[in-house]
């Protein structure tokens, strides 16, 4: 495993940075057999059992550089073979599946996850995140696969519709079996081309990719030996309404709260020792005191936070609430940043000059699925309409909860699942992962037994996979390196390395560790 090291000059060629590297692939001998076996005849024969998979392209990329249109040159890649396969979905859609086979293969396989409502993300957009991309996997010597599932890699709210209704087959492929089909196909190709069995298989994903990880563990426990989900999107149905709530409040409340009020409340919440580590919840006395103390707080010499400001801010912080007073799911309290930081577009409180507010794209897409309109605009949605949509479609989309916490078969297969979730996550509240842990513990009945196959970490104030957010996040190298030690040497991770990094200035802000979460001191729950 590569040692820990930071160095300058990584911004344009960022895969060289050690937060993305944990294996020196050059130590593995060149797999010259690829020149003989990564050929059309072998791969077509391998694909025969997969009736919807068709070989389209094989290419050899020599050591040195990789260039895609509109993206920076990567000049530090090792030599690899590139196999493109077309998958026919529902007899109509064409998915793009690509297998990457490095010449210096470490003997392992890695599945590459997507994000949001896409099965693939753009590797060039992952510089400041801990998402694992195919160039990163290849550089570390993994054979790997990525597939767009006919969803593309950019959220445009366009896919998922068919003849005025929903394309249920395509949506369910994205939600469930698409990742499994991608995995088993690619594994067969990898083993045929290298002429030997894969030693161990891994997958890491964040957000919607974290959802893919959880589904793999619960539904396809044989696919991977080690899985790492970061900030996973559990309870997808309720969460989407939570993600859209700030915009609904903004469009429906006559009183518009300037963003500087939210920022000041955040600063005050984060500086309070009484609130540290306690998610926003008005049943907690400390949060009651905080909220009641906000009115009259000075912003500058002539401006203060008003009672009207606090009433609206509380609606945002509480999360979606139905007319009967029932809260749908967790909200995003004042301790969590809800506006962009630097060039980032994350945050539901980004106001625009035209009076609109940022809406997270994959949540908008899901809402448009519910109303069966790919162009539906949230600006026209009243509180009453929002509630009506929520109640009318909850049963129809119950299968998209992704919240079973049934890891029995995964544990029986010897699988290891690691979940990380920053307490400052601004897309998926970290309380969802805590609830998942509780649910898994109730199923298992013994925490020490549960920790044999599940470890959970909560980096303090870590954002949604970002290294350059408000708090540190687990690095690719630390997370995947620890997962491999757990799978291959039975050394469970007790702590993980976390990092805050300023990519604009190319400097380390903070390096720390996060301990594995444990509820009980004893052996049982």
Q: Whats the size of the chain, residue-wise?
A: 525
Q: Which fold does the domain 200-234+402-525 belong to in CATH?
A: Rossmann fold (3.40.50)
Q: What pLDDT is recorded for position 163? A: 85
Q: Are 333 and 270 in contact (CB under 8 A)?
A: no
Alpha-helical segments (H) within 173-219: 178-194, 208-219
Q: Are 402 and 214 in contact (CB under 8 A)?
A: yes
H or E element, residue 154: none
Q: Are 141 and 131 in contact (CB under 8 A)?
A: no
Who's near 337: CB < 8 A, 6+ residues apart? 266, 347, 424, 426, 463, 469, 470
2 conformational bin, left if phi > 0, alpha if psi -120 to 50, beta if neither:
beta
Q: Are 142 and 102 in contact (CB under 8 A)?
A: yes
Q: Which regions of the chain are under pLDDT 70?
A: 1-14, 125-127, 154-157, 342-348, 353, 522-525
SS3 432: helix
SS3 9: coil
Q: Are 415 and 488 in contact (CB under 8 A)?
A: no
SS3 499: strand
Closest listed residue to residue 214, CA positions, set 428, 62, 16, 473: 428
Start-end ranges of CATH 3.40.50 in the chain? 200-234+402-525
How distant, in Å, are the alpha carbons of 35, 122, 197, 483 from that of 158? Answer: 40, 18, 40, 36
User: Could you tell me the two tokens for 185?
Assistant: 């196909």
pTM of the model: 0.94
Q: Are 327 and 319 in contact (CB under 8 A)?
A: yes
Q: What pLDDT is recorded for position 522? A: 60
Question: In this structure, what are the phi and psi dihedrals at residue 497, rounded to the nearest 5 degrees?
Answer: -75, 135
How distant, in Å, are the alpha carbons of 169, 262, 274, 335, 353 from that of 277? Answer: 42, 19, 9, 9, 35
Q: What pLDDT is recorded for position 186? A: 98
Q: How many angstroms separate the CA atoms of 363 and 381, rounded? A: 14
């Amino acid at each position: 495993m590569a040692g820990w090291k930071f160095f300058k000059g990584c911004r344009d060629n960022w895969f060289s940075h050690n937060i993305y590297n944990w294996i020196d692939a050059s130590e593995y001998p060149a797999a010259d057999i690829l020149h003989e076996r990564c050929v059309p005849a072998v791969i077509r024969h391998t694909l025969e059992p997969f009736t919807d998979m068709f070989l389209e392209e094989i290419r050899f990329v020599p050591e040195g550089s990789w260039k895609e249109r509109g993206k920076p040159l990567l000049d530090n890649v090792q030599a690899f073979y590139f196999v493109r396969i077309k998958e026919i979905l529902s007899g109509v859609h064409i998915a793009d599946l690509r297998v990457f086979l490095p010449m210096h293969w470490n003997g392992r396989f890695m599945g590459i996850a997507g994000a949001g409502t896409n099965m693939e993300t753009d590797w060039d957009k992952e510089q400041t995140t801990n998402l694992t991309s195919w160039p990163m996997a290849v550089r570390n010597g993994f054979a790997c696969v990525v597939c767009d599932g006919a969803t593309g890699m950019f959220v445009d709210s366009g896919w998922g519709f068919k003849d005025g209704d929903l394309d249920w087959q395509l949506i369910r492929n994205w939600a469930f079996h698409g990742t499994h089909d991608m995995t088993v196909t690619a594994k067969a190709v990898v083993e045929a081309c290298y002429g030997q069995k894969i030693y161990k298989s891994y997958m890491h994903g964040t957000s919607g990719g974290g959802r893919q990880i959880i589904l793999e563990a619960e539904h396809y426990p044989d696919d991977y030996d080690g899985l790492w989900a970061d900030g996973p999107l559990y309870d997808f149905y309720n969460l989407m309404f939570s993600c859209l709530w700030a915009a609904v409040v903004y469009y429906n409340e006559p009183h518009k709260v300037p963003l500087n009020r939210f920022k000041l409340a955040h600063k005050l919440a984060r500086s309070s020792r009484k609130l540290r580590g306690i998610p926003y919840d008005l049943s907690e006395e400390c949060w009651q005191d905080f909220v009641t103390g906000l009115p009259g707080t000075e912003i500058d010499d002539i401006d203060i936070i008003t009672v009207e400001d606090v009433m609206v801010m509380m609606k945002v912080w509480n999360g979606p609430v139905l007319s009967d007073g029932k809260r749908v799911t967790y909200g995003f309290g004042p301790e969590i940043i809800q506006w962009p930081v630097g060039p980032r577009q994350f945050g539901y409180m980004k106001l625009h000059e035209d009076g609109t507010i940022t809406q997270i794209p994959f949540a908008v897409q899901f809402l448009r699925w519910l109303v069966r309109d790919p162009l539906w605009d949230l600006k026209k949605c009243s509180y009453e309409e929002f509630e009506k949509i929520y109640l009318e479609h909850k049963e129809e989309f119950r299968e998209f909860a992704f919240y079973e916490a049934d890891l029995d078969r995964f544990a029986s297969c010897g699988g290891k699942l690691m979940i990380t979730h920053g307490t400052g996550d601004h897309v998926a509240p970290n309380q969802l992962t805590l609830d998942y842990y509780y649910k898994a513990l109730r199923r298992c009945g013994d925490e020490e037994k549960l920790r044999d196959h599940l470890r959970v970490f909560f980096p303090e104030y870590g954002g949604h996979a970002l290294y350059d957010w408000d708090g540190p996040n687990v690095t690719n190298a630390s997370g995947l390196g620890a997962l491999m030690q757990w799978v291959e040497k039975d050394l469970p991770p007790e702590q993980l390395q976390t990092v805050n990094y300023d990519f604009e200035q190319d400097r380390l802000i903070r390096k720390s560790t996060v301990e594995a979460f444990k509820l009980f001191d004893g052996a049982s729950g």
